[in-house]
Amino acid sequence: MISIKEVTNKAGLKAFVKFPFSLYKNNPYWVPPIIKDELETFDQTKNPVFANAEARFFLAYKENKIVGRVAAIINWLEVKEQGLKKMRFGWFDFVDDLEVSKALLQKVASIGAENALDYMEGPVGFTNLDKVGVLIEGFDHIGTMITWYNHPYYQNHYEAHGFTKEKEYLENKFKAAAADPKLFEKANTLIKRRFQLRELNFTKSEDIMPWVDKMFDLFNESYAKLSSFVKITDVQKEYFKKKYISFINPEYIKFVVDKDDELVAFAIVMPSFSKALQKANGKLFPFGFYHLLQARKNSKDVIFYLIGIRPEYQNKGITAIIFNEYYHTFKEKGVENCIRTPELEENTAIRQMWKHFNPITHKRRRTYRKALN
């Protein structure tokens, strides 16, 4: 018999965070989170997303053993401002037992019904900067710190419970050497001259900080038309600034500004921390922090995390400026492989941006939805 228990204390939340460590034990492709970071994500006193969202956490038990987990999330900005009556769910993991996944999903559905929501969708996080989608292809490729990994049977569970595909995301990679400067060197010069633009490069994190709020404003502006987008609030900007910007190599953050020093485009690339996180196995101490610092300094793989271009400058070749700068940075750092974060299948503009680099789609993931009666 399956029993579902709500997490109501720190011990329960720690069990919630640690469940995948047993589910994916010895899996060479799963990338564990840092337990402390994951706990902070779920802490209402630390994560500002809870100013506009709520979440409840559930564990499934069978014979007194944890066999599944789910986070049931309502983003009230999405519900009230966008009119999307959506019940979100994420951090959804389970053993290969249909009764377990069914019981967890029924719990999410009941919360959605209590709040008069129309449908449920997952797996998703609180916002667009969280992890998204269940992996449906690419199980033999190592995960990243900004995506979920899952067993192949997950897809069967969603479909067995009457869920249908909502959105599909592609993950692509290409060799850094494919970013041939001949493709954009000339364009880079012409576009800068035509639009009176210049690039900004950085060597210190503190020099980036004055630009970060403008960067998030531009992020909100760039992605506003995508169906899944929920804007980043001012309080969240501060949180992400403190949590992430100082840990990303400053030379991996590129800005493009106009003649008035207004931000036109930005890109953030991160070194791949996947193997370092596997070595850390959830803990920063005693050696986890060392492994992460080594990856920050020496990783030959990088992840294109975010790119934003002001709408009036989209499709005008601004990426030539960004890629030209990255080419020189990557060459200096000895970067070999470029990996892209999940991109919506419907986002044709982003696919056009990468077409010259011979990208290979190595993973696909989906969110699934179901109507709430």
User: Can you tell me the distance from the alpha carbon of 188 to that of 183, in angstroms, rounded to the nearest whole number?
Assistant: 9
Is the previous residue joined to 28 through a cis bond, with omega within 30 degrees of 0? no
**Which residues, given as ranges, of the chain have pLDDT below 50?**
none
Q: What is the DSSP string of 323-342?
A: HHHHHHHHHHHT--EEEE--
State pLDDT tens for residues 213-226.
Answer: 999 999 999 887 77
Compute the half-sphere exposure of residue 19: CA atoms within 13 Å on the CB side of its CA: 25
pLDDT at 181: 80
pLDDT at 74: 98
pLDDT at 228: 66
CATH number corresponding to 2-171: 3.40.630.30
pLDDT at 185: 83
Contact (Cβ atoms closer than 8 angstroms) between residue 330 and residue 179: yes
Q: Match 């995506």 to its residue by tokens.
A: 147
DSSP class of 132: B
Which residue ranges does the chain devote to CATH 3.40.630.30?
2-171, 174-362
Domain 174-362 is found in CATH 3.30.1340.30:
no
Give which of 203, 282, 268, 244 is closest to 39, Cα–Cα.
Answer: 282
pLDDT at 187: 87
